[in-house]
Amino acid sequence: MDTGEYEGDTYFILIPATDSEEIDGEVFVMKLVEIDGEEMLEGVDDGELFDNVYNIFKENNKDEFEFLD
C-alpha cells in the first residue's frame, strides 16, 4: 500500500491480497533490513513502533482511505 521513512529506516505498509475491494482491517508493518547483503522485509512486533509508523501512513493517506479507529 505504501512505504515510508521513520527514524532513518524504511517501512512498508501491507494488507493481505484479496479478490474483494474491501479491506478487512488487517494491516502489516514491515521494516526493510539487510541480511548477508540482501534486502529483506522483517515484521514489526513492537506495538509502539507499529503504531508510530502506521499513524504516519494514516496521516499521509487520509484523503485516499477511510480509517476506523
44, part of any domain: yes
Mean pLDDT score across all residues of the chain: 84
pLDDT for the residue numbered 48: 95
13, part of any domain: yes
At 23 the three-state DSSP class reads coil
Residue 68 has pLDDT above 70, yes or no: no
In angstroms, the Cα distances linking 26 to 7, 22, 65 are 24, 11, 14
47, part of any domain: yes
For residue 51, the enclosing domain spans 2-17+25-60
69, part of any domain: no
Q: Could you give the number of structural domains in the chain?
A: 1
Residue 32 has pLDDT above 70, yes or no: yes
Q: What integer is the mean pLDDT of 4-9?
A: 92
Global pTM reads 0.76
